[in-house]
Chain A
Amino acid sequence: MELNANTPAGPLETKWQRHRFDLKLVSPSNKRKYEILVVGSGLAGASAAASLAELGYGVGCFCYQDSPRRAHSIAAQGGINAAKNYQNDGDSVFRLFYDTIKGGDFRAREANVYRLAEVSLAIIDQCVAQGVPFAREYGGALANRSFGGAQVSRTFYARGQTGQQLLLGAYQALSRQVALGKLRMYPRHEMLELIVSDGRARGIVTRDLVTGRVDSHLADAVVLATGGYGNAFHLTTYAKGANATAIWRAYKQGAAFANPCFTQIHPTCIPVHGDYQSKLTLMSESLRNDGRVWVPLRAGDPRAPRDIPPAERDYYLERLYPSYGNLAPRDISSRAAKRVCDEGRGVGPAGRGVYLDFAEAKVRLGMTKLKEMYGNLFEMYERITDEDPYEVPMRIYPAMHYTMGGLWVDYNLMSTLPGLFVLGEANFSDHGANRLGASALMQGLADGYFIVPYTLGHYLAGMPRDSIKADHPAVRAAEAAVAKRTASLLALRGRRTVDSFHRELGRLLWEHCGMARSEASLTSALAKIPGLREEFWQDALVPGSGEELNQSLERAGRVADFLELGELICLDALERRESCGAHFREEHQDAEGESRRDDTRFCHVAAWEYTGAGRAPRRHEEPLVFERASLTTRSYK
């Protein structure tokens, strides 16, 4: 397998501009002869599907939800970054690029990140024109707020529902194309296989989740925008249905999987409270603009938070990272929370929690302003915990939230399988080992609105326009694989529910491959996962049939894939013997417990190649070359 990033030559600042000129075009009259399939309808998928249809391509878009508007981008709260410099506080494309590459602990490709920062400007223009109701100043100009890992204010937001509003913008653009007859939408459809012929992605096999009908869809190119794989950890901030099936099928068909161990744990989530719990809820990072994080100075302090005088509190982020304070990046804040809880200073049940306190902000800003800024988040917190954060500090704890790793893509966002493009969280490209807040929305929309519409055309223009037929052996083989797999899942009539396996896998990954990892913990996880997987295939219980709506079957297929992917996450974490970003190896830390990167041995992307069932995957390396950013030790002190 060859990893050619296809990064254009020339200075960083002009790479994308020059590349766009070098890309081949498909003439307007020929575009309609091509068929493109987009899997996923979140920010990346919906924006790509709409933009490609606008260009004139025939587009089919698939999502497992009952409507494309429900994709999990909808739940993103805080905001979207753009280097507009509207605040006149020293922002620039270069600064956004630099913050992002540094935030990712120098494990992302420079050229991709620079392009992302560059394109960020057009995204805001596009979204405003679509009617996204961003927050405004009294004069009518767009407002901004600050986010973690940056010292400028460049985050655009729509209350605590930025993801919702951006997604509705993309969904509306998509809906317009549906009405114009240029885009066919397939809701309640799940992709179960990728069709590959002559080494090119040529279509997908889907299951209609209502009727159970399995169909093949053929195309000239396939775009995967199916989100991250964090649900392997079971208790996460992801939507319940979020899954890795599409990217895992693609991996098994030959697309390399890059940096699977780069998984982000978000510092501010509502802590776990019971065994029946089905998911964790995020509290936006934007809250750290005004909320102060603290724990009691003394371990095991039994007093209520308001009874603890300021001198006996430890505002540990402000103490450890004075220049960024409560806005230290996510990986750093999460680890710091874990550390104080490990010291026995955590609060709430089981001592796994820290306070996020708005008492000072309430005095400084006043109740009205506080409500305007964070009202809906406070309300959400109150709904879940039955506590009023205007009166008592929130209790928060880190939770699995996002995956920086994903399918490997080149500068054109094409995977190692020609014709298979991967966008948004599903790819690995822009966030390195740690994503900064408000950058996921930016990347999803950059990929969908402004990158893939150019690069996909280039691919099509360079390929002979031939089509494969429904009875092609590759199509038949993909359909047969789906039928076999569905039959095996439905034959499972054991003693354990699928959910119990998912919970067990999740706990295992969280404990052995979560915020801190070590040779011992990872070796232990790698020893346990195959056994769990084997048990699943012998003792799981999947009721119902395949010819109807069967949510148990859907879940079983997704968990079966997580049971394989979980192993790759641990393997990648084991092989990366350094600490970088969200990947913290206990063996690689300094005296103060901060990460120690190893740029001599690990300044590369690790991309895994599937080599067949029961065989060890092969690890490939794409060296990361930094021309403009200097490889410094990240410091937020």
Chain B
Amino acid sequence: MRLRLRVWRQQNARAKGRFVEYDLPDASPDMSLLEALDVVNEQLTLRGEEPIAFDHDCREGICGSCGLMIDGVPHGPRRATSACQLHARAFKDGDSITVEPFRARAFPVIKDLIVDRSALDRIIQAGGFISVTTGSAPEANAVAVPKQAAELAMDAAACIGCGACVAACPNASAMLFVAAKVSHLGLLSQGQPERAERAVKMVAQMDREGFGACTNHGECETVCPKRIRLEFIARLNRDYLRSAFAARPASDGEVGGG
């Protein structure tokens, strides 16, 4: 099949970008979109031009590296599918496909299709964990976790941190990303001690990074390659609100030992 790729090219963070068109006269329907970019890159290299820079790694939809706007939709037209799992067969012969980087204030472009998503790491660092030092864990079966809770936690934990939710949101909010982690840990017995402060700290970091607020558009849920559900945002809001009423000790600091 014949495809035309309209790709965003931008030399670096400071440079101005533009679209460049590349023809793929004999693409295979079984080719993934990233493989189509590979083929273009091989041709560019042989012509002495610089290939298109794009993030990718596992190419099986789990590492979250690839994040592309495809025809204006993060990861493209197929629901619950990351860009690396999107195949040419999802398009029609002769189609022109527009490929751009994720656009958000918190995701500055580094080069071509590559953006800086380190803000998501900093949100996790702000509180997206359970504080348990290596060696201090109790026997694994000592605490029973209801199957339902474990399954729901797993639904939320499936987030691959690709940032599609941010790219799809009119406010460039990272609420679905934060909600997924807050829900995952908050649904488990092990995550209870830090539950309230986790929500507050992660949301505060999200704000500091320049992500917008959630105004319930629901675009994030539509584009999520892992089907993370909007209801987790409701869960995050509950935890956030509850933390306002949570009892806190007079001093958060450690009490000195004798």
- Taking beta carbons and an 8 Å cutoff, which residues of A are in contact with B? 47, 50-51, 54, 65-70, 72, 74-75, 84, 86, 122, 124-131, 133-142, 158-159, 161, 164-165, 168, 171-173, 175-176, 178-179, 185, 187, 210, 239-241, 273-274, 276-279, 281-282, 379-380, 383-384, 386, 449-450, 453, 495, 497, 499-500, 541, 543-544, 548-549, 551-552
- A141 in contact with B141 (CB, 8 Å): yes
- B130 in contact with A551 (CB, 8 Å): no
In the assembled complex, how far is the CB of residue B185 from the closest CB belonging to chain A, in whole angstroms?
Answer: 5
In the assembled complex, how far is the CB of residue B114 from the closest CB belonging to chain A, in whole angstroms?
Answer: 7
- B147 in contact with A75 (CB, 8 Å): no
Chain B positions 16-40 with a Cβ under 8 Å from a chain A Cβ: 28, 30-32, 34-35, 38-39
Give complex CA distance A67, B31 in Å.
27
- A140 in contact with B63 (CB, 8 Å): no
Q: What A residues does B147 contact at CB under 8 A?
A: 136-138, 140
- B213 on interface, CB distance cutoff 8 Å: no
Q: What A residues does B28 contact at CB under 8 A?
A: 274, 276
Q: What B residues does A164 contact at CB under 8 A?
A: 62, 158, 160
Give complex CA distance A500, B39 in Å.
12
- B125 in contact with A179 (CB, 8 Å): yes
- B134 in contact with A453 (CB, 8 Å): yes
Give complex CA distance A379, B60 in Å.
11
Of the candidates B35, B110, B129, B138, the one having the most CB atoms from chain A within 10 angstroms of its own CB is B129
A133-B157, A178-B125 known; A70 and B63 CB under 8 Å? yes
- A72 in contact with B141 (CB, 8 Å): no
Contacts A/B (CB < 8 Å), 9 sampled: A128-B143, A138-B147, A141-B144, A161-B154, A240-B57, A386-B89, A450-B134, A544-B50, A549-B114
**Can you add 19 more A-B contacts, CB < 8 Å, to A239-B63, A241-B57?**
A69-B121, A75-B60, A122-B135, A128-B140, A129-B130, A129-B132, A129-B190, A133-B150, A133-B188, A136-B145, A136-B151, A164-B160, A172-B124, A175-B121, A276-B35, A278-B35, A380-B60, A549-B53, A549-B110
- B137 in contact with A70 (CB, 8 Å): no
Give complex CA distance A142, B147 in Å.
9
- A172 in contact with B81 (CB, 8 Å): no
Q: What B residues does A67 contact at CB under 8 A?
A: 64, 117-118, 120-121, 161
Bitwise, B55-66 to A at CB < 8 A (1) or not (0) is 111111111110
In the assembled complex, how far is the CB of residue B99 from the closest CB belonging to chain A, in whole angstroms?
Answer: 16
- B34 in contact with A278 (CB, 8 Å): yes
- B85 in contact with A240 (CB, 8 Å): no
Q: Please name the residue on chain B nearest to A163 by beta carbon.
A: B62
Q: What B residues does A133 contact at CB under 8 A?
A: 150-151, 153-154, 157, 184, 188
Chain B positions 212-229 with a Cβ under 8 Å from a chain A Cβ: none
Q: What B residues does A276 contact at CB under 8 A?
A: 28, 31, 35, 38-39
Q: How many contacts A-B (CB < 8 Å)?
A: 216
In the assembled complex, how far is the CB of residue B134 from the closest CB belonging to chain A, in whole angstroms?
Answer: 4
Partner of B124, one of A122, A158, A171: A171
In the assembled complex, how far is the CB of residue A375 from the closest CB belonging to chain B, in whole angstroms?
Answer: 11
Q: What A residues does B124 contact at CB under 8 A?
A: 69, 171-172, 175
Bitwise, B106-139 to A at CB < 8 A (1) or not (0) is 0000110010111011001110111111111111
- B87 on interface, CB distance cutoff 8 Å: yes
In the assembled complex, how far is the CB of residue B139 from the closest CB belonging to chain A, in whole angstroms?
Answer: 6
In the assembled complex, how far is the CB of residue A400 from the closest CB belonging to chain B, in whole angstroms?
Answer: 15
- A54 in contact with B63 (CB, 8 Å): no
Give complex CA distance A179, B180 in Å.
20
A175-B129, A383-B61 known; A124 and B140 CB under 8 Å? yes
In the assembled complex, how far is the CB of residue B196 from the closest CB belonging to chain A, in whole angstroms?
Answer: 16
Q: Please name the residue on chain B nearest to A548 by beta carbon.
A: B12
Bitwise, B88-105 to A at CB < 8 A (1) or not (0) is 010000000000000000
- B117 in contact with A239 (CB, 8 Å): no
In the assembled complex, how far is the CB of residue B63 from the closest CB belonging to chain A, in whole angstroms?
Answer: 4
Give the contact stretch, choosing among B41-49, B168-176, B239-247, B249-257.
B41-49
- Taking beta carbons and an 8 Å cutoff, which residues of B are in contact with A? 11-12, 28, 30-32, 34-35, 38-39, 42, 45-46, 48-51, 53, 55-65, 80-81, 85, 87, 89, 110-111, 114, 116-118, 120-121, 124-126, 128-141, 143-147, 150-151, 153-154, 157-158, 160-161, 184-185, 188, 190-191
- B125 in contact with A161 (CB, 8 Å): no
Q: Please name the residue on chain A nearest to B134 by beta carbon.
A: A51
Give complex CA distance A319, B32 in Å.
37
In the assembled complex, how far is the CB of residue A497 from the closest CB belonging to chain B, in whole angstroms?
Answer: 5
User: What are the 9 closest A-B residue pairs judged by CB atoms, nearest first?
Assistant: A140-B144, A129-B137, A172-B129, A125-B137, A133-B153, A133-B154, A51-B134, A239-B57, A179-B125
In the assembled complex, how far is the CB of residue A145 from the closest CB belonging to chain B, in whole angstroms?
Answer: 15
- B188 in contact with A173 (CB, 8 Å): no
Give complex CA distance A165, B188 in Å.
14
- A125 in contact with B139 (CB, 8 Å): yes
Give complex CA distance A232, B128 in Å.
36
Q: What B residues does A129 contact at CB under 8 A?
A: 130, 132, 136-138, 190
Q: What B residues does A161 contact at CB under 8 A?
A: 62, 154, 158
Give complex CA distance A135, B56 in Å.
29
Give complex CA distance A67, B64 in Å.
10
Q: What B residues does A125 contact at CB under 8 A?
A: 137-140
A158-B154, A175-B125, A497-B42 known; A543 and B51 CB under 8 Å? yes
- A541 in contact with B65 (CB, 8 Å): no
A66-B117, A543-B51, A552-B45 known; A240 and B56 CB under 8 Å? yes
Q: What A residues does B53 contact at CB under 8 A?
A: 549, 551
Q: What A residues does B38 contact at CB under 8 A?
A: 276, 278, 499
A175-B128, A239-B57, A544-B50 known; A386 and B87 CB under 8 Å? yes
- A384 in contact with B114 (CB, 8 Å): no
Q: What A residues does B129 contact at CB under 8 A?
A: 130-131, 172-173, 175-176
Give complex CA distance A277, B150 in Å.
37
- B137 in contact with A74 (CB, 8 Å): no
Q: What A residues does B87 contact at CB under 8 A?
A: 383-384, 386
Q: Please name the residue on chain A nearest to B187 by beta carbon.
A: A133
Give complex CA distance A135, B148 in Å.
10
